[in-house]
Amino acid sequence: MEKIHSTTVLAILHNGQVAIGADGQATMGNTVAKSNVRKIRKLSNGKVIIGFAGSTADAFSLMERFEEKLGAFGGNMKRAAIELAKDWRTDRYLRRLEAMLIAAAKDELLVLSGTGDVLEPDTGIASIGSGSMFAQSAATALKKHAPHLTAEEMVAESLHIAADICIYTNHNLIIETM
């Protein structure tokens, strides 16, 4: 059985605002399985927003673990991410999960991967998924040449640009801000 995957998730920290968005497409092989998947979730009473890419079931497992870590570490996103990454690398079950997460709080962005990486981008832009490089390129240009836009506007425009190029990304966007 083919896994459902492929997406584009983008987060931008700009002028004191953070926005994270994703398209709604899920594919099975070269077929669109669903066009309105919600890949963005608020955790920790809305203090943390995450976006996920990869196998949906795997992403939900990771999201639940991350929420547990947030609770265990008093909402400290960076500490929770590091602890999740440690578990992800060492736990036999978690190592098999095929997903990535972007976590965003009011003043920080993190990318979490199954290799145990917790990356904090220096540019204030984080992206994952099949269309991530298209969205990240657009976001980089917008931050540089259109700084008057809000983080939410930049995320929306960048995801639309990615959707115009990447066959695994659509225009059904969900964007959350903080």
Q: Where are the chain's structural domains?
A: 4-177
7 is a catalytic site residue: yes
Q: How far is CA 170 from CA 110, 123, 135, in A?
A: 24, 25, 12
Q: Does pLDDT of 164 surpass 80?
A: yes
Q: Which of 7, 8, 56, 169 is catalytic?
A: 7
Q: How much of the chain exceeds pLDDT 70, in percent?
A: 96
pLDDT at 127: 97
Between β-strands 174-177 and 99-105, what pairing exists: parallel, antiparallel or unpaired? unpaired
Query: Residue 5 — very low, low, confident or very high, per pLDDT cuts 50/70/90?
Result: low
The arithmetic mean of pLDDT across residues 167-176, rounded, is 96
Nearest-angstrom CA–CA distance, 5 and 42: 21
CB 142 within 8 A of CB 28: no
Nearest-angstrom CA–CA distance, 119 and 126: 9
**Contacts of 39 by beta carbon, 8 Å cutoff, 6+ apart:** 7, 9, 22, 23, 24, 51, 52, 53, 59, 174
Q: Which CATH number fits domain 4-177: 3.60.20.10, 1.20.20.10, 3.30.390.50, 3.40.50.150?
A: 3.60.20.10
Q: Which residues of 79-110 are buried (b: 16+ CB within 10 A; e: fewer)?
A: ebbbbbbebbeeeeebeebebbbbbbbeebbb
pLDDT at 2: 47
pLDDT at 57: 79
Q: Output the pTM of the full model.
A: 0.94
Give the pair of three-digit tokens for residue 43: 């955790």
Q: Does pLDDT of 38 surpass 80?
A: yes
The arithmetic mean of pLDDT across residues 99-107, rounded, is 93
Cβ neighbours around 116 below 10 Å, total: 15
**Weakest mean pLDDT among 46-55, 84-93, 109-118:** 84-93
Average pLDDT, the chain: 91
Q: With CA atoms as reference, report the closest residue to 65 among 36, 37, 95.
A: 95
